[in-house]
């Protein structure tokens, strides 16, 4: 029997699953595998989705399930999509009435389905959407939009806004994601737009694939030049090659090119960029200012009254504008939740838990008991990190391996702590993510590593908070005048781009004058137990007169002992699956 939810059109024989493994044929009926079963049900700010021209600053109830009908290399939600069986134990049943009641009780303006694709939970989402609309709530989703015309038409009466994730513009690019053609996606964008649904598109920008994203913008412009495009700088997760990640500067350049094609184009996954702002096309005034706010998201930090420029131009936003910005707690909300799950996954992998069934047992139990809510606080200090490892080793029955990992880390932590005490000075250090003017939060784990390695982290002086940091001004950075600067190993930019930015913005501090600006290797300072390698790297740079860790040797030891990797290591940003070469 043929599944008619997406354009893949799987022929599913009785008792078997389709390609996405989320639908089966039971006695001649296509049945959803996990009906009304959700991985997350929690409030988010709409810009976290991300959605930036609809109901700005508003609170929505996010729902997600597991699985996807695409298989995209480097997917940011890989754990939920490609390894769905590892988290199905965490699914919780919830009727549409219950979810809508939760949204109303928590004063949410609507429901949004994101993190994975609603296509794999079509019937549950359609029923939920109808129930929400009946109660006067907004309804939206993030989707690859590979719906059949029939299934999309079934949803249309209930949709207010949609973020369509574009993989590119060509059939060849879509075949890399396991489907046949790009055409159904652009057909569906037109259907949505013509039906009055607020549409935004998020287009993946992969290094070397300029033609794909420019052609995608041109195809969107044929529908309407006013459809906002979010340029998603590709960050390679999973098995995706690190060289596929473009720099922030390259991504800003492609954004400039696309702004000649579409009227509203923004750059995401690029901390510190100014390309998230909505600028008046008449006079150049910033009408809405936004900053990076966690993976794939942003937040509004300021706007002119009524979103109307002093020259009279009004920003084209739809939906009810919130008077207050909603802020999620810790790692809850949007793609931060998937990062938290992957961080737990990363620890479990080093403990030898790599079977989907085993992972499912542990991850399922911790998600159900709201473990993720408290995880943010458990990953900011070294001792708490070690406690987290011990906790997960007990839960997984891997106490012996957990003790081995803790001992390995603690031995090196103690060496650094002991020698740092003898340092004659404590150099001032600034920790940035991406561009110079995006500062990591004062309490972040990375800033604590700096202090533990014998440095004085100037980020501790910054009172404002974001996720994982905030934009600061050039004057603020100059006043802090750090002697050394570290660029985060997560969502970074090359030190050369960092210096160019400082030169172009007349930023001069001791660290730029002496060129003591260091890129922490990818995956080494956040997200996995590999942070111990980053800690040694930081110690070497802060106090080269004291520390001289052989990082190449340390890396090989760690990867051999805890990942079973004996080949040459390749730097990557995936928390749980470090890449390696078998050569």
CATH number at residue 443: 3.40.50.1980
Q: Rounded to whole angstroms, how far apart are CA atoms 191 and 155?
A: 11
Predicted confidence at residue 577, as pLDDT, reads 64
Domain presence at residue 8: no
Domain presence at residue 12: no
Q: Rounded to whole angstroms, how far apart are CA atoms 48 and 325?
A: 12
Beta strands in 284-421 (DSSP E): 286-292, 298-303
The range of the structural domain enclosing residue 341 comes to 336-420
Residues 248 and 282 in one domain: yes
Domain boundary, last residue among 386, 404, 420: 420
Residues 121 and 54 in one domain: yes
Domain boundary, last residue among 303, 328, 353: 328
Domain presence at residue 57: yes
DSSP helix/strand/coil, 388: helix
DSSP helix/strand/coil, 20: coil
The one-digit pLDDT tens for each residue of the chain (583 residues) are: 899 999 999 998 888 888 889 999 998 889 999 999 998 899 999 999 999 999 999 999 999 999 899 988 767 666 666 666 767 777 889 999 999 999 999 999 999 999 899 999 999 999 999 999 999 999 999 999 999 999 999 999 999 999 999 999 999 999 999 999 999 999 999 999 999 999 999 999 999 999 999 999 999 999 999 999 999 999 887 667 778 899 999 999 999 999 999 999 999 999 999 999 999 998 989 999 999 998 889 999 999 998 999 999 999 999 998 988 888 877 767 677 777 888 888 999 999 987 777 877 888 777 777 777 778 888 899 999 999 999 999 999 999 999 999 999 999 999 999 999 989 999 999 999 999 999 999 999 999 999 999 999 999 999 999 989 999 999 999 999 999 999 998 887 899 999 999 999 999 999 999 999 999 998 899 889 999 999 999 999 999 999 999 999 999 999 999 988 876 666 666 676 665 544 4
DSSP helix/strand/coil, 353: coil
Domain presence at residue 11: no
The order of strands in the sheet holding 278-279 is 278-279, 286-292, 298-303
Residues 96 and 215 in one domain: yes
Q: What does residue 475 show for φ and ψ, rounded to 5 degrees?
A: -65, -40
Is 73:239 a contact under the CB 8 Å cutoff? yes
Residues 203 and 307 in one domain: yes
- Residue 121 DSSP symbol: G
Close Cβ partners of 482 (under 8 Å, ≥ 6 residues apart): 428, 429, 430, 458, 509, 510, 511
Residues 324 and 271 in one domain: yes
- Residue 572 DSSP symbol: -
The CATH number given to whatever domain includes residue 149 is 3.20.20.70
CA 182 and chain centroid, separation: 24
What pTM, to 2 d.p., does this model score? 0.92
Handedness of CA 349, 351, 353, 359 (dihedral sign): negative
With vertex at residue 164, the alpha carbon angle to CA 161 and CA 169, rounded to the nearest 5 degrees, is 150
CA 75 and chain centroid, separation: 10
β-pair partners for 92: 38
Predicted confidence at residue 339, as pLDDT, reads 79
Residues 94 and 172 in one domain: yes
Close Cβ partners of 394 (under 8 Å, ≥ 6 residues apart): 402
Residues 130 and 209 in one domain: yes
Domain presence at residue 4: no
Domain presence at residue 9: no
Residues 545 and 411 in one domain: no
Residues 412 and 552 in one domain: no
Is 436:498 a contact under the CB 8 Å cutoff? yes
Residues 389 and 454 in one domain: no
The burial of 104, by beta-carbon neighbours within 10 Å (0-12 exposed, 13-18 middle, 19 or more buried), is given as middle
Predicted confidence at residue 547, as pLDDT, reads 97
Domain presence at residue 15: no
CA 535 and chain centroid, separation: 23
Q: Rounded to whole angstroms, how far apart are CA atoms 106 and 96?
A: 15
Domain boundary, last residue among 404, 420, 436: 420
Residues 560 and 432 in one domain: yes
Task: Work out how many domains the chain is built from and give that number.
Answer: 3
Domain presence at residue 120: yes
Residues 268 and 170 in one domain: yes
The kind and range of the H/E element at 403 are helix 399-420
């Amino acid at each position: 029997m043929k599944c008619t939810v997406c354009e893949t059109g799987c022929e599913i024989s009785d008792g078997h699953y389709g390609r996405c493994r989320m639908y089966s044929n039971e006695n001649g009926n296509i049945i959803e595998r996990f009906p009304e079963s959700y991985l997350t049900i929690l409030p988010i700010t709409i810009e976290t989705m991300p959605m930036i021209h609809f109901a700005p600053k508003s609170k929505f109830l996010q729902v997600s399930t597991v699985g996807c009908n695409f298989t995209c290399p480097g997917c940011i939600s890989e754990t939920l999509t490609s390894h769905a069986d590892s988290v199905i134990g965490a699914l919780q049943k919830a009727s549409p009435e219950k979810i809508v009641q939760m949204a109303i009780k928590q004063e949410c303006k609507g429901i949004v389905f994101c993190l994975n694709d609603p296509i794999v939970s079509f019937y549950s989402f359609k029923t939920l959407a109808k129930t929400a609309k009946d109660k006067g709530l907004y309804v939206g989703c993030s989707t690859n939009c590979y719906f059949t015309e029939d299934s999309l038409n079934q949803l249309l009466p209930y949709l207010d806004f949609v973020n369509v994730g574009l993989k590119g513009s060509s059939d060849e690019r879509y075949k890399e994601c396991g489907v046949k053609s790009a055409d159904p996606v652009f057909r569906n964008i037109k259907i949505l737009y013509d039906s009055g649904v607020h549409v935004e598109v998020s287009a993946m920008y992969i290094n070397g694939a300029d033609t794909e994203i420019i052609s995608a913008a041109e195809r969107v412009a044929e529908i309407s030049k006013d459809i906002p495009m979010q340029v998603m700088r590709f960050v390679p997760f999973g098995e995706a090659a690190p060289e596929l990640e473009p720099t922030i500067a390259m991504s800003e350049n492609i954004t400039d090119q696309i702004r000649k094609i579409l009227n509203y184009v923004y750059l995401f996954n690029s901390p510190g960029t100014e390309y998230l702002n909505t600028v008046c096309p008449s006079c150049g005034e910033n009408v809405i200012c936004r900053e990076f706010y966690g993976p794939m998201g942003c937040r509004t930090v300021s706007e002119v009254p009524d979103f109307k420029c002093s020259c009279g131009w009004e920003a084209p936003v739809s939906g009810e504008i919130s008077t207050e910005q909603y802020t999620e707690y810790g790692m809850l909300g949007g793609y931060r939740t998937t990062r938290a799950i992957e961080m737990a996954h990363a620890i479990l992998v080093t403990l030898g838990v790599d079977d989907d069934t085993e992972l499912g047992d542990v991850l399922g139990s911790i998600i159900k008991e709201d473990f993720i809510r408290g995880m943010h606080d458990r990953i900011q200090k070294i001792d708490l990190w070690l406690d987290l490892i011990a906790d997960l080793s007990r839960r997984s029955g891997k106490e012996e391996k957990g003790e081995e990992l803790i001992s390995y880390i603690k031995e090196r932590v103690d060496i650094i702590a002991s020698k740092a005490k003898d340092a004659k000075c404590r150099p001032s250090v600034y920790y940035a993510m991406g561009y110079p003017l995006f500062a990591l939060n004062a309490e972040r784990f990375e800033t604590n590593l700096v202090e533990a390695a014998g440095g004085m982290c100037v980020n501790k002086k910054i009172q404002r908070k974001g996720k994982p940091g905030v934009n600061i001004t050039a004057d603020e950075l100059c006043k802090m005048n750090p002697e050394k600067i570290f660029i985060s190993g997560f969502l970074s930019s090359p030190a050369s781009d960092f210096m160019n930015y400082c030169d172009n913005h007349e930023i001069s501090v001791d660290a730029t004058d002496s060129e003591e600006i260091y890129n922490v290797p990818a995956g080494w300072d956040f997200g996995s137990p590999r942070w111990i390698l980053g800690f040694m790297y930081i110690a070497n740079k802060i106090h080269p007169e004291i520390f001289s860790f052989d990082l190449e040797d340390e890396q090989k030891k760690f990867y051999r002992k805890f990942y079973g990797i004996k080949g040459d290591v390749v730097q990557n940003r995936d928390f749980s699956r470090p890449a390696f070469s078998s050569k």
